[in-house]
Amino acid sequence: MSAAAPRVGVIGLGYVGLPLAAAFAEAGVPVLGLDAIQSKVDQINAGRSYIEDIPSDRLAPLTAAGLIRATTSWDDIRQVDAVLICLPTPLDEHREPDLSAVLGAAESLAPRLRQGQLVVLESTTYPGTTRDELAPILERSGLRAGRDFALAYSPERVDPGRVDWTTRTTPKVVGGLTPECTRRAAEIYGLAMDTIVEVSTPEVAEMTKLLENIFRSVNIALVNELAVLCDRMGIDVWDVIDAAATKPFGYMPFRPGPGLGGHCIPIDPFYLTWKAREFDFHTEFIELAGKINSQMPAFCVAKVIRALNSRRQSLNGSRVLVVGVAYKKNVNDTRESPALRIIDLLAADGGIVSYHDGYVATLATRGLESVPLSAETLAAHDVIVVVTDHDGIDWERIVAHAPLVVDLRRAVPDAPNVWRL
C-alpha cells in the first residue's frame, strides 16, 4: 500500500473493533483505534491483545509496523479518512435502547469532522439511527451529511470464536445516505474485505443486521420449546434435529441449550421491538422468542433438581459444579450468559455452587473462581452441570469421576449417570 493509503479510525476497540482494525492493518491500511479505556489503549500499543480472536502474536507485528496505533484522544481522529464506529449498544434498565455511547461519540466527533471524511456506524441498532440520530449530531459541525461528508451504516457480523469465516471473508453489507456515500464506504471496506454487498439505504443495512439476529433468536426458541416438549414426551430432541437435518433443502438445524447469551442475540431484537412501537406495531415473534429463551435456565435447573431427586438428594445442600460459564464455546465472554442465571437459581435453592471454565478465571460478581476439573474435584461434587461445551474439556473424565452429570449441550457421552437436555 502506498504512503497515500487512506487511514482508518476505529472507535471502540472491543470484540468488533479490534478484529476490524486488524483486518484493515493486515491489508496494509494504517489504523488509528480509539477507546475510552486507557489500559486497553496501552495494551494495544504494546502489541498485547485482550480479545481472543486476535491473539497477541497477530497483533504485535501490526503494532510494531505502525499499522495499528491506539489513542484515547478524539483530536487524533482528525487525521483519518474513514471513522468506523464500533461502540456498545446495550439496553437500559427499562430494556430500551441505550445509544449513549454512539451518540456521545458523534458529539465528540462533530467539532472535529473534516470535509470529505467518511463516517460509518457498525454498532447494531434500530433502522433510522444513522439518518435520524447520527446525522443531525454530526451536522452540528456545519458540514452536511451526504454532501460535505459521507455517512453510511455497515453491520458487523463477527461471530467470536468462529474460524471458518473471518472479518475478511464474511461479506460486508453497506448502505449509505446517498449512492455516493455507499460507494465511498464500499471502496474503503473493499481494501480489507473480499465481498462488499451494497444496499440502497442505511435503513436496509440496519434492518438486515436485525433480521439476522432475530432469525437466530426465533429458531433457537423454536427448538428450545420443542426440547421442553420432547423432554416431557420422552423423545430425544437431538435425534429429531439430526434426522430433520438430513433433508437437503428447506431446513436448517438449530440446537437447544440453556438459553441465549452474549451482547447480540438476547439484546438486539429488542431494539426493533422498541422502534416498532412508534409505528403502532407489536413484534410478536421477537417477544415470544425472548420469553421462551429466557425460561430455559429455570427449565435446566428443574432438570438438575429432578436428577438429584432420582438419587434421593435435594438441591438444598448439594455441591454443584457448573462446567462452562461463558455464553458460548471457546470464548471468554460472560455477558448475558445463561450460566449466570443458572448459578443464581441453583444458589437460591440452596445449591453450593462452584464452576470450571478455562476461559473465565474469576466470576467477580458471584465471588467465585474457576476450579480445576480434576478427578478429585469431580468426585467431590454431587452433580456436574455442563452449561458451555468448550473444546478441549475431557468429557470422558467427567463421566468417569462425577456421580451425576446434567448435560445441557450434548457434550458428554451417554452413560447411566448422565442426564441430557
Ligand X SMILES: NC(=O)c1ccc[n+]([C@@H]2O[C@H](COP(=O)([O-])OP(=O)(O)OC[C@H]3O[C@@H](n4cnc5c(N)ncnc54)[C@H](O)[C@@H]3O)[C@@H](O)[C@H]2O)c1
Q: Given the rule CB under 6 A, which residues bind ligand X?
A: 11-17, 34-37, 40, 86-89, 101, 104-105, 123-124, 156, 158, 160, 263-264, 268
264 is catalytic: yes
Closest to ligand X by CB, 140 or 306? 140
Closest to ligand X by CB, 206 or 268? 268
Shortest Cβ 108–ligand X spacing (Å): 7
Shortest Cβ 39–ligand X spacing (Å): 9
Closest to ligand X by CB, 25 or 158? 158
**How many C-beta atoms surround the C-beta of residue 278 within 10 A?**
9
Tell me which residue has cell 468429557.
395
Distance CA 55, CA 50 (A): 8
Tell me which residue has cell 455464553.
327
Shortest Cβ 93–ligand X spacing (Å): 18
Closest to ligand X by CB, 339 or 421? 339
Shortest Cβ 20–ligand X spacing (Å): 9
Closest to ligand X by CB, 156 or 231? 156
Catalytic residue among 86, 230, 264, 300: 264
Give SS3 for 348. Answer: helix
Distance CA 137, CA 224 (A): 42
Closest to ligand X by CB, 13 or 406? 13
Task: Report the DSSP pairing between strands 8-11 and 362-363.
Answer: unpaired
Closest to ligand X by CB, 286 or 304? 286
Instruction: Quote the cell numbers at residue 190.
Output: 473493499
Shortest Cβ 300–ligand X spacing (Å): 23
User: Amino acid identity of 39?
Assistant: S
Shortest Cβ 364–ligand X spacing (Å): 17
Nearest residue (beta carbon) to ligand X: 14
DSSP secondary structure code for residue 149 in this structure? B
For CA atoms 20, 22, 23, 27, the dihedral sign is positive
Distance CA 8, CA 31 (A): 5
- CA-based angle 168:170:172, to the nearest 5? 90
Query: By the 8 A CB rule, do 210 and 126 touch?
Result: yes
Give every CB contact of residue 153 below 8 A, 6+ residues apart in sequence: 120, 121, 122, 129, 130, 174, 175, 176, 202, 205, 206
- The H or E element spanning position 127 is none
Residue 261: which of 285, 297, 300 has the closest Cα? 297
Shortest Cβ 328–ligand X spacing (Å): 10
Tell me which residue has cell 441465549.
260
DSSP secondary structure code for residue 132 in this structure? I
Show which residues are catalytic.
Answer: 264
